[in-house]
Structure 1
């Protein structure tokens, strides 16, 4: 069966199959070689993600026929980093618990699918001013419910967990801010524009390639048109 890559995360993952978004681009990149499977849950933090792991990834769902996926991306932290005294406080997870939850999520995948590559992705940077302009509910305080400073703390925690677990990580918070126009990567100060999605897709592809997962290393399913003899087309399917 065709290998699978699961994308597990919050709204930035749930939205990743929109036009020009990073999940769709990843599926296009691996077309005919890998099925990219979306498991994104808008608004979720790592506390809630940990509660639903068994339902999202039951033991019987190791891909078709019980085959483990080749990779899983774990992309949480933007909601965990919500400030505890603002209107998104119900999504906040203290940073020590965030790290524990990430370790537990990684451990779950490693126990269920020992051969699967687990790739962590840090939360993106936050444009504080844009979060004031684009609140998702009424914001009587007139203050950002997330800040770039807090997102950075959670990004560093994510990188630290990846180091402890000896798995790859995309440090999106740092990578995006290497561009002087990084705020253009964010549509509302939090979610990604197509430009931001391109950064994510390119970094995920690079990290997977480092683990030996690339278009070149993964065979295409069924004969390519170039392999079909026009004088005897059916020979290719024997």
Structure 2
């Protein structure tokens, strides 16, 4: 397994099972609508915990990032939303994965590829090649792993988590500054005692759903940086000026 993955597949499977059990415990006894909302938010949060464990990215940063990218207030609770699609400023939260995927595939059928998808709003045009399908981009764990690996690269480049998060959104200072103002508010509101579960694992082969690092290292980054220096903010390496999903929302 590659750096950032669990030492063996059985351990990995056990941790995933434990996360699902945890969600079940939290949801026990909740009203149906409230349970649905908590389940959706928990999918992003549980994926953030696992991706943080695999990569060493602080889990609180990943949880704050998913809320900055897709956070919504639903049933009186603010949290991330995995069934989120943003295209050219038209950001939409869907009630379930099937509806979100149908929307994304419908746009693709029209020739649209500039789509930000899932818990961490990974851009289809620039990063879709790292996933087996658009459906996999909606997989919270695959989405979180890619975001965490990308943040790891940015942290290596800039040497600072704040700078890495800012560059995740935009390398244009004006847009990055606005984004970080919201990120810091969300980060501060999260429990300060949230920690990664265990030490950072040693290098090992990557699971199939983990994006290969070469996707970030070759051919893409110069074009992506140029694209992000446009006239407005965008999702992760979006190539157009779009209004963020969070613009004007609590």
Q: TM-score range by the shorter chain?
A: under 0.3
Q: Which one has more relative contact order, counting CA pairs under 8 Å at least 6 apart?
A: 2
Query: Normalized per residue, which structure has more helix?
Result: 2
Larger Rg: 1
TM-score normalised by L of structure 2: 0.24
